[in-house]
């Protein structure tokens, strides 16, 4: 574990978090709790990460949430999440939510043009599939509010070509959609929520006095930049970050989360 630019003592911050009456621990899933895999639906949390999440969720005053770009349906599958779980979920970058029975209701955004945009989504996504035909290894994932181009197994040349094709198409067809990049992923969504808005809503609903957020990719930086004084932002792996600390990999994050759980259980 190393400093990522934040001038904090991590041990002291963990002690402070352990002493708070209510905290929120919000975690990205892919690349943070689960290794990145070629088949997105084959992703699963490592045993160490799953144990750390369970330990935190069992400590008094601790709300644990998964905050992911995955659709809520897919997130529940890969997280092996059922209706008896205490773990809150924010899918589609915070546009979809699931909470345990008895949790405060979600503060829903104004619908605005959602019906019109939703009606346009299906044909736009259908056309996107055609733009990557012939791009070896590239494929389109249909998502709740748009689509994602995956190029993890494509060559750099094919990846660049596929992304260029999709960018040109979307600039012409749906320039108002939100564009996001990630590790070999290019995503477009007609809903504009980000992980920063997801964290704000989860903080409000859980009445958390402080927040821990961990992520490994570009879209997680929205949430990391939104954190308050006294919060703890964690970057998993390399890359520019607004996090307070950086851990090398998933086992290192699991160790940190387990440490926090142990301190809160004392």
- List, by residue number, the catalytic residues: 28
H runs (alpha helix) in the chain: 10-19, 47-57, 72-78, 114-131, 156-173, 195-206, 220-225, 250-265
137-140 own/partner pairs: CB under 8 Å, 24+ apart:
138/162
Residue 112: how many CB atoms within 10 A of its CB?
8
What is the token pair recorded at 36? 């990145």
Could you tell me how far CA 50 lies from the centroid of its own chain? 16
Q: Among residues 43, 5, 25, 99, which one has the least CA distance to residue 264? A: 25
Q: Residue 123 forms beta bridges with which residues?
A: none
Residue 98: how many CB atoms within 10 A of its CB?
20
Could you tell me how far CA 35 lies from the centroid of its own chain? 14
Q: How far apart are CA 221 and CA 173, in angstroms?
A: 28
Q: Which residues contact 158 (CB under 8 A, 6 or more apart)?
A: 135, 136, 137, 138, 151
């Amino acid at each position: 574990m190393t400093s990522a630019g934040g001038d904090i003592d991590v041990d002291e911050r963990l002690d402070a978090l352990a002493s708070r009456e209510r905290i929120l621990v919000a975690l990205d899933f892919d690349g943070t709790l689960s290794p990145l895999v070629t088949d997105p639906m084959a992703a699963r949390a490592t045993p160490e990460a799953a144990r750390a999440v369970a330990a935190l969720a069992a400590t008094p005053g601790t709300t644990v949430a998964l905050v992911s770009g995955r659709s809520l349906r897919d997130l529940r599958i890969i997280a092996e999440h059922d209706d008896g779980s205490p773990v809150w979920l924010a899918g589609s970058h915070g546009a979809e939510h699931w909470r345990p029975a008895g949790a405060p209701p979600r503060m829903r955004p104004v619908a605005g043009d959602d019906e019109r945009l939703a009606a346009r989504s299906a044909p736009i996504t259908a056309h996107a599939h055609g733009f990557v035909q012939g791009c070896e290894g590239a494929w389109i994932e249909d998502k709740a509010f748009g689509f994602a181009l995956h190029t993890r197994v494509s060559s750099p040349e094919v990846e660049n070509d596929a992304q260029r094709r999709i960018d040109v198409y979307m600039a012409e067809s749906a320039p108002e959609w939100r564009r996001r990049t990630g590790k070999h992923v290019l995503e477009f969504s007609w809903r504009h929520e980000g992980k920063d808005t997801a964290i704000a809503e989860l903080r409000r609903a859980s009445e958390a006095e402080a927040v821990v957020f961990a992520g490994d990719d570009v879209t997680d930086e929205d949430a990391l930049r939104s954190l308050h004084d006294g919060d703890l932002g964690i970057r998993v792996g390399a890359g520019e970050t607004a996090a307070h600390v950086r851990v090398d990999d998933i086992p290192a994050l699991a160790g940190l989360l387990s440490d926090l759980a142990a301190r809160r259980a004392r």
